Amino acid sequence: MSRHEQLTNGLKKGAVVAISSAPFGILFGAIAVDNGFSIAEAALMSGLVYGGASQLVGIELFGHHVAAWIIVLSILAVNFRHVLYSAALAGVIGRFPHAERWLSFFLLVDPQFAETVKREETGKPVTFRWYFAMGAVVWVSWVMTTMIGAYFGRMIGDPKAYGIDVLMPVYFLGLTMGFRSRHNFFPVMLAGGVSSVIAFHFIGSPWHISVGAVLGILVAVILPPPKAHVEPEVSEMEKEAM
Amino acid sequence: MENQVTAFSIDPNTALLILIAGIATYFTRIGGYVLMSSMKRIPPRLESALNAVPAAVLTTLVAQPFVYGGWDIKIAMAVALVVGLRFPGLTLLAVGWAAVMAARYGLGFGV
- DSSP assignment string, chain A: --HHHHHHHHHHHHHHHHHHHHHHHHHHHHHHHHTT--HHHHHHHHHHT--HHHHHHHHHHHHTT--HHHHHHHHHHHTTHHHHHHHHTHHHHTTS-HHHHHHHHHT--HHHHHHHHHHHHHT----HHHHHHHHHHHHHHHHHHHHHHHHHGGGS--GGGGTGGGHHHHHHHHHHHTTTTSTTHHHHHHHHHHHHHHHHHHT-TTHHHHHHHHHHHHHHHHSPPPSS----THHHHHHHH-
Residue A242, pLDDT > 50, answer: no
Hey, is B34 helix, strand or coil? helix
Q: Which of A28-32, A93-97, A226-230 has the lowest mean pLDDT?
A: A226-230
Q: What is the mean pLDDT of residues A89-110?
A: 96
Which chain B residue is nearest to residue A215, measuring alpha carbons?
B56
Provide the pLDDT for residue A235.
42
- Cβ contact A192–B101 (<8 Å): no
Residues of B in contact with A90 (CB under 8 A): 32-33, 36-37
Q: Closest partner residue to A105 among B33, B44, B100, by Cβ?
A: B33
Residue A91, pLDDT > 50, answer: yes
Q: Closest partner residue to B7 among A39, A51, A164, by Cβ?
A: A39
Confidence bin at A53 (pLDDT 50/70/90): confident
Provide the pLDDT for residue A227.
67
Structural domain harbouring A148: 3-178
- Phi, psi (5° rounding) for residue A42? -60, -45
Q: Closest partner residue to B52 among A108, A164, A220, by Cβ?
A: A220
Clarify whether residues A115 and A66 are in a common domain: yes
Query: What are the tens digits of pLDDT across the range A165-215?
Result: 788 788 889 888 988 988 899 999 999 999 999 999 999 877 888 899 899
Residue A76, pLDDT > 60, answer: yes
Interface test with B, best of A45, A119, A176, A201 (most B CBs within 10 A): A176
CA distance B70 to B64: 11
Shortest distance between the Cα of A52 and any Cα of chain B, in A, equals: 12
Q: Closest partner residue to B60 among A83, A88, A208, by Cβ?
A: A208
Residue A150, pLDDT > 60, answer: yes
Clarify whether residues A24 and A115 are in a common domain: yes
Interface of B with A in 48-107 (CB under 8 A): 48-69, 72-73, 76-77, 80-81, 84-85, 88-90, 92-93, 96-97, 99-101, 104
- Whether residue B21 is contained in a domain is answered as yes
Instruction: Please name which of B37, B69, B33 lies closest in space to residue B53, comparing C-alpha atoms.
Output: B33
Residue B92 and residue B60 in contact, taking contact as beta carbons nearer than 8 Å: no
Q: What is the mean pLDDT of residues A25-40?
A: 89
| Count of A-B CB contacts under 8 Å | 290
Residue A237, pLDDT > 70, answer: no
Structural domain harbouring B21: 12-106
Provide the pLDDT for residue A153.
76
> What ipTM, to 2 d.p.?
0.83
Q: What is the mean pLDDT of residues A149-162?
A: 78
Query: What are the tens digits of pLDDT across the range A127-140?
Result: 999 999 999 999 99
Query: What are the tens digits of pLDDT across the range A158-179?
Result: 767 888 778 878 888 988 898 8
- Cβ contact B53–A84 (<8 Å): yes
What total of structural domains would you count in chain A? 2
CA distance A115 to A230: 21
B28 vs A60, higher pLDDT: B28
Clarify whether residues A77 and A130 are in a common domain: yes
Clarify whether residues A47 and A165 are in a common domain: yes
Provide the pLDDT for residue A192.
95
Percent of chain A with pLDDT over 70: 91
- Cβ contact A213–B35 (<8 Å): no
Q: Residue B89: CB partners within 8 Å, gap ≥ 6? A: A16, A174
Provide the pLDDT for residue A156.
65
Question: What radius of gyration do chain A's Cα atoms show?
Answer: 19
Question: How many CB atoms are located within 10 Å of the residue A180 CB?
Answer: 12
A236 vs A186, higher pLDDT: A186
Preceding amide of A159 cis, omega within 30: no
Interface test with B, best of A104, A173, A203, A218 (most B CBs within 10 A): A173
- Whether residue B6 is contained in a domain is answered as no
* Amino acid, res. A55: Q
Provide the pLDDT for residue A94.
94
Clarify whether residues A99 and A218 are in a common domain: no
Provide the pLDDT for residue A234.
44
Last residue of a domain, one of A139, A162, A178: A178
Clarify whether residues A171 and A126 are in a common domain: yes
Shortest distance between the Cα of A94 and any Cα of chain B, in A, equals: 8
* Burial annotation A197-234 (CB, 10 A radius, 16+ → b, else e): bbbbeeeebbbbbbbbbbbbbbbbeeeeeeeeeeeeee
- The whole-chain average pLDDT of chain A stands at 87
Q: What is the pTM of this model?
A: 0.78
Clarify whether residues A39 and A138 are in a common domain: yes
Shortest distance between the Cα of B16 and any Cα of chain A, in A, equals: 10
Can you list the alpha helix ranges (DSSP code H) found in B1-111? 12-37, 44-51, 53-68, 71-83, 89-101
Provide the pLDDT for residue A49.
97
Provide the pLDDT for residue B85.
92
Question: How many CB atoms are located within 10 Å of the residue A128 CB?
Answer: 19
Clarify whether residues A45 and A150 are in a common domain: yes
* Amino acid, res. A115: E
- Listed as ranges, residues in chain B with pLDDT below 70 are 1-5, 111
Residue A114, pLDDT > 50, answer: yes
Provide the pLDDT for residue A232.
47
- Whether residue A33 is contained in a domain is answered as yes
